[in-house]
Amino acid sequence: LWRFRYSARLLKTNHFRTAVSNTSFPAVWMLLAQYSGRIPRPFVVVQRNSFFTMPETVEDKADLELYSPSSKVRGMTQLDREAFKRTVVVPVLKVKKEIIGTLLKSLKHTVLQRPGLKRVIEDPEDENSRLLILDPHKVSEFSLGESEQEVLKQFNVPPAVRKYDLELTYDNFKSEEILRAVLPEGQDVTSGFSRVGHIAHLNLRDHQLPYKHLIGQVIIDKNPGVTCVVNKTSIIDNTYRNFQMEVLAGESDLVTKVKENNIAYELDFSKVYWNPRLSTEHGRIVELLKPGDVLFDVFAGVGPFAIPAAKKKCSVFANDLNPESYNWLLHNCKLNKVYDKIKAFNMDGRDFLLGPVREELSKELPLQTEEQKTSFHIVMNLPALALEFLDVFRHLLVGEPCSAAVLPTVHCYGFSKHDDPAKDIQERAEASLGTSLDGRCSTYPVRNVAPNKEMMCISFQIPADVLYKRPCPVEEKPASKRLRTSKDFSEEMLQS
């Protein structure tokens, strides 16, 4: 299953990241077959829709030619909405207003379907009629096909197609079309972003920076609810996992509210780490938990693992080194009414494992029985460093090992640029633990972070011989020798 998921990701990354108008489905399937060996039917069904996410198709190219803004906007760095006006010629039918609704249904595959443009407009020459705009791509040379003509005959509508000058404004263009018209030809167009409440988060490339404020304003204009656009200005390389950012457009309010898996969180996006692309992964891990289980969240952030686990009636120990994350974690515990179910800590991850985690495991594991046992889960979501923390589990506990069934399960995240990321993550985990995990772990691809860079999760029960250090056996001490005194020495001399 992992191979098929990873093959699909690899295909999407390598072949759909750039616009390719002549990609054919047989070629794609052949390439997929090279990676997987065969294509199972369930895979075809599940993945089929992803092939329609290509950034450009033949019909898209026709749209570019007909619905592109005026060429005079090329190179614009300060947004001038008036400069985007353009008039295009489109085919229309004159229809009596009484039958316009019924005719629309019958010609639904022929009429204009472009978002933001009306399909029915006033007839400037006849108030009792309306003009029905047809799709210029489907009405070639302004003449209808036989099937459309037959429909019009049933409604007694003349089949004559007229030409109409349609004025397009800034409001009628999509954000991709606007940015493609503004940026130099052949350069990448930024239209995708991460949405964090009212904030749109971009990662602009160097060649896009001269247009950054225009890009920010276009995103606000075209995305209802977005009132602030920021651009990341540095990679996440500090202790607290946040990054420097610049406000490109809109208000500078970076305290926002987000909802993930039906749970609300509040946070300051400039001071804590939040990634909306991890929503599915948060839900996947929480789904593994049962009421009464214990969760240790080593790098908890503002609580996307901890809070839903607590709402599921698990016992939660949540930690984060960043004081801001710790404060927002406490805030979100109160917001979601789980404040009394989560023990929060503001510690280094290693100290948290060596302190509260070791203390709790030392106390609870000996009490577990086969009939009445609790599952213990340890989540380590710091993919840049978490694998290096696994050495903490070497002889974390002292004593006789507990039953294998109740050994804690670790879910550890890591980045990999290896050709086989699952193998790479497992080998790095084994190096930290000092033991083999063959047959004792599972790896899961979380998301594609960048070209040739995967985020992975490895899950395993900590082997007993790693977790426990057996106490040294108590050896019988030899009888201590009595010190010889001067009196003993004198007696020996007399006897001799």
Report if residue 30 sits inside a domain: no
Rg of the chain over CA atoms, in angstroms? 33
Q: Let me know whether 318 and 463 are in one domain.
A: yes
d(CA 419, CA 422): 9
Q: How many CB atoms lie within 10 A of CB 41?
A: 7
Q: How confident is the model at residue 379 (pLDDT cuts 50, 70, 90)?
A: very high
List of residues 6+ apart from 30 with CB closer than 8 A:
none
Q: How many CB atoms lie within 10 A of CB 382?
A: 20
pLDDT tens per residue across span 234-287: 665 556 555 678 999 999 999 999 999 999 999 999 999 999 999 999 999 999
CATH number, residue 188: 3.30.300.110
Lowest mean pLDDT among 163-167, 190-194, 251-255, 490-494: 490-494
Per DSSP, the three-state class of 291 is coil
What's the domain range around 104?
A: 86-168
pLDDT greater at residue 376 or residue 26: 376
Report if residue 490 sits inside a domain: no
Q: Let me know whether 278 and 351 are in one domain.
A: yes
Q: Characterize 268-278 residue by residue with b for buried, 16 or more Cβ atoms within 10 angstroms of its Cβ, and e for exposed.
A: bbbbbbbbeeb
| pLDDT mean over 440-452 | 94
Pick from 221, 222, 209, 153: which is nearest to 183 by CA?
A: 209
Report if residue 293 sits inside a domain: yes
d(CA 103, CA 95): 9
Q: Let me know whether 230 and 122 are in one domain.
A: no
Percent of the chain with pLDDT over 70: 79
Q: Let me know whether 181 and 290 are in one domain.
A: no
Q: At what angle do helices 2-16 and 421-433 cross, to 10 degrees?
A: 120
pLDDT tens per residue across span 3-49: 445 444 444 443 333 333 333 333 333 433 433 443 333 333 333 22
d(CA 83, CA 472): 82
| pLDDT mean over 475-492 | 49
Report if residue 62 sits inside a domain: no
Q: Let me know whether 129 and 221 are in one domain.
A: no
d(CA 261, CA 311): 12
CATH number, residue 305: 3.40.50.150
Q: Let me know whether 129 and 207 are in one domain.
A: no
Lowest mean pLDDT among 280-284, 375-379, 403-407: 403-407
Query: Based on the structure, what is the number of domains in the chain?
Result: 3
d(CA 284, CA 306): 13
Which helix (H) or strand (E) segment is 496 a member of? none
Q: How confident is the model at residue 138 (pLDDT cuts 50, 70, 90)?
A: confident
Most confident by average pLDDT, 173-182, 231-240, 437-446: 437-446
Q: Tell me, what's the pLDDT at 192?
A: 77
Q: Tell me, what's the pLDDT at 268?
A: 96
Q: Let me know whether 452 and 318 are in one domain.
A: yes
Q: How many CA atoms lie within 13 A of 332 on its CB side?
A: 30
DSSP per-residue codes, 397-442 = EESS---GGGSPEEEEEEEE-SSSHHHHHHHHHHHHHTS--TTSEE
d(CA 7, CA 420): 11
Q: Let me know whether 156 and 190 are in one domain.
A: no
Report if residue 457 sits inside a domain: yes
**At which of 147, 168, 189 does a domain end?**
168
| pLDDT mean over 82-105 | 91
Per DSSP, the three-state class of 329 is helix
Both ends of the chain: CA-CA distance in Å?
Answer: 91
Q: Let me know whether 243 and 303 are in one domain.
A: no
Q: Let me know whether 362 and 303 are in one domain.
A: yes
